[in-house]
Amino acid sequence: MSVSDQQQVVPVIRRTLSGPVEGVLAGGIERFMGIPYAAAPVGELRFALPVLPQRWTEPRPATDPGPTAPQVAYEGPLGRLLPTVIISGDDYLNVNIFAPPRRGDTLRPVLVWFHGGSLSHGSNALPGYDGSAFARDAVVFVSVNYRLGVEGFSVLEDAPLNLGLADQIAALEWVKANISAFGGDPAQVTACGQSAGGNTLAALLAHPRANSLMARAIIQSAPLSAQPASKARRISQRIAQDLGIQDAREDFMAKTPAELLASQARVLSGVTALSGGPQFALAIDPELVPIDPLAALIDGEGSNVPLMIGTTTEEARLWLVPTGLDARINGLYLAMARRKAGIPRSALKLFQRNRPGATPGEILGALLTDKLLRVPMSKVADARYHARAQTHVYEFAWKSPVEELGAAHAVDLPFVFDNVTLPDSVGLVGNAAPHSLASSMHEAWVCFATMGDPGWPAWDFSRPVKTFDGKKNPVLFSPRDDECEALG
């Protein structure tokens, strides 16, 4: 709900190190929108590391969402399910803050949100990322915009790598320096990311500075990997070829953001998380991602930061079912996809035995979900247990009836944010989503951000997995471990 829709709106001024900002107190929640944490990445600051914004002296209006990173809307069926908000402007390295009203010197725990979107979509302006429910429950919620796509994850000559990740580090540093002005405790920051935002968070968790940036971490439905720079560079080379230029900073800076974005859209047309082809990815580089995050986490990096991590049961259905690809997959296609993904034949047969009557498309979706997400997650949880690191694992299993999505990628988000009745949420989970499930999931996120304990046992040799099914939400022990083992 926008501020203009609410009654008894009271202006509120808070002072950041860059200058005062004026938000509002409405409905018992303070809201500050579009606060810059870094200078606008334009002109000479394009394809460069983020720097602090210039100071201001007069209260800066912070009542409406700020600009969003350059992007285009999702194509086709994904566009029906995953909405896009685009707000023009240069100052898109900004944060939104939702906070309970200040109570003297009391400082509240903080949750910093990094949105997903394949490193090329998404923003903190999406209604589904409204942090009011967290503020209602005494958590200061901060949502972050960061550079996306060609502006944020190109691999170019003479340009730093992983600029979108560098933006996230700058945002966390800004939070550490400024959040006490909004009633947040800089020593109690939980970083949380979903999908691509969880991927970047895995890299941050694996970074040697992790414990200086966050007290806890939550990774939702995310790959835990990065690519060699030579491989991550392929998408930049495709864009350069499309535009008839070199994949170098000087050449890319000579193009307007709109020209680069149009080329990006052409190059990525038809490419999805499952279809293959070059996509934007974290690149291994000496500064921010010195080694693959999965390998670093297994090797013990980030072990001093408590972690909550999980997936949905049927992640791949988001890309398989609405597009109709699921229905077109036959036995031959399944066999070819299995070989391409490096999945053993024995694993395929096990998945088929465990799912009598499942279609080839359903089998492929289950294999890819586990291969890409559940198996790496389990390896990290096991390694952290042996390193005596606190880890809590969950699985979201409730099935959305919308377009037969089931427990697909992103279906869990309205429940985490406790906003299942929002129009965008209804478009993803339907109009009969269980409020009790939203209450349970949201409470777990709040409890973890507040106390470091989401309400179920930490990972150990028994492998407890909190399963949010919308019924009894049980803790299951070693669920489907045979399938994880079969996939290696």
Residue 408 CB-half CA count within 13 A: 21
Q: How many helices (H) and strands (E) does the chain have?
A: 21, 13
Phi, psi of 249 (to 5 degrees): -55, -45
Q: Residues in the chain, how many?
A: 488
Sign of CA dihedral 314, 315, 318, 321: negative
Residues with catalytic roles: 195, 315, 409
Determine contact, residues 107/135, Cβ cutoff 8 Å.
no
Neighbours of 289 (CB within 10 A): 25
E-state strands within 222-335: 307-312
- Parallel, antiparallel or unpaired: strands 391-396 and 307-312: parallel
- Parallel, antiparallel or unpaired: strands 60-61 and 108-114: unpaired
Q: In degrees to the nearest 10, what's the CA dihedral of 338, 340, 345, 350?
A: -30
Determine contact, residues 229/155, Cβ cutoff 8 Å.
yes
Q: In degrees to the nearest 10, what's the CA dihedral of 79, 85, 87, 88?
A: -20
Coil, strand or helix at 109: strand
How is residue 2 written in tokens? Answer: 């926008």
Distances (CA, A) of 477 to 217, 317, 481: 23, 25, 9
Neighbours of 279 (CB within 10 A): 20
Q: Which of 91, 226, 66, 48 is nearest to 143 (CA)?
A: 66
